Amino acid sequence: MLIGGIQKFSLINYPKKTAAVIFTQGCRFLCHYCHNPELVLDEKFQKPLDEKEILEFLKKRQNQLDAVVISGGEPTLHKDLVSFIKKLKDLNYLVKLDTNGINPNIIKNLIDQKLLDYIAMDLKAPLESYSKVTNIDLGVNLIQDSINLIMSSKIEYEFRSTLVKNLHTKDDISKMAKLIKNASLYILQKFRPQITLNPAFSKYEAFSDEEMGKFQKTSLNYVKKCFIR
């Protein structure tokens, strides 16, 4: 795998568990607001970290860490993701996958092989306007397939949407919650203007706390739990 970075200890990336977070390089989307352009744009890639050294580190931390989160970029682009997760499982780690849902076949394979303990999938926009956020049109059937797979699996999961004033309307948020109707958990993330893949977005406004609260209330008409992060 092409690993662009590692966060060696986190209390917030895996619910109620201590975790290390691994960031893979490469993503097929180009979300305007992406905070990790160095993991998305080839020209910004750093020399990948040594996988063996990471596994050695994780072996030494088996007693201090419960889980490994594989994030990106988009981890499912990597052909050796399955074998990498098997190595984490051999070390007895819980594994959480952060995905944008573009590769339902890989997600299915991982679920079927019981290699995942938690899945977090980004929901970028209502299906009809997905490319407005992802900045590239890759079709949305794959996204719908991933949603169906995750919701019908027995694995703990969450869907999450980063909400940006210039991209999302109130109506969009209802549509997204409806798309994952009956989902056990939907997280609404407040956009934070900082480093963004599209530099113009670094100056864009976030929704206010009051607006986010209203979106949470609307989303709860469709999903079982909804939190603001």
Distance CA 93, CA 67 (A): 5
Looking at the DSSP bridge assignments, the partners of residue 122 are 160
Instruction: Out of 72, 75, 104, 126, point to the residue binding ligand SF4 (CB under 6 A).
Output: 72
Cβ atoms of 147 and 126 within 8 Å: the answer is no
Q: Residue 104, interface with ligand SF4 (CB under 6 A)?
A: no
Q: Is 130 in the site for ligand SF4 (CB under 6 A)?
A: no
* Between 74 and 172, CB nearer to ligand SF4: 74
Nearest to 13 by CA among 132, 96, 135, 89: 96
* Residue 140 found at the interface with ligand SF4 (CB under 6 A): no
Considering only the stretches 6-14, 22-30, 54-62, 201-209, report the one whose residues sit in contact with ligand SF4 under the rule CB under 6 A.
22-30
**Least separation in angstroms between CB 52 and ligand SF4:** 25
Of these, 73, 75, 104, 126, which contacts ligand SF4 (CB under 6 A)? 73
Tokens of 15: 């619910």
| Residues in CB range of 68: below 8 A, 6 or more apart | 19, 20, 21, 22, 58, 88, 93, 94, 95, 96
Is residue 117 within 8 Å of residue 67, measured between CB atoms? yes
Segment interacting with ligand SF4, rule: CB under 6 A, options 10-18, 33-41, 171-179, 183-191 = 33-41
Q: Report whether 107 contacts 76 (CB < 8 A).
A: yes
Output the smallest distance, CB 32 to ligand SF4, in A.
9
Which one among 100, 103, 146, 219 touches ligand SF4, defined by CB under 6 A? 100
Residue 222 CB, shortest distance to ligand SF4, in Å, is 23
State the minimum distance, in angstroms, from the CB of residue 43 to ligand SF4: 15
Question: Nearest to residue 100, comparing CAs of 128, 66, 77, 132?
Answer: 77
- Residue 75 touching ligand SF4 (CB under 6 A): no
Residue 160: count other Cβ atoms within 10 Å of its Cβ. Answer: 16
- Scanning 29-37, 48-56, 88-96, 212-220 for contacts with ligand SF4 by CB under 6 A, the matching segment is 29-37
Residue 2 found at the interface with ligand SF4 (CB under 6 A):
no
Question: In angstroms, rounded to a whole number, what is the distance separating the alpha carbons of residues 136 and 133?
Answer: 8
Q: Which one of 9-17, 28-36, 185-193, 219-227 is the stretch in contact with ligand SF4 (CB under 6 A)?
A: 28-36
| Site membership for ligand SF4, residue 38 (CB under 6 A) | no
Of 37, 28, 30, 33, nearest to 4 by C-alpha is: 37
d(CA 144, CA 142): 5
Q: How many CB atoms lie within 10 A of CB 57?
A: 14
Which residues in this chain contact ligand SF4 in the complex, by CB under 6 A?
Answer: 27, 29-31, 34, 36, 40, 72-74, 100, 122
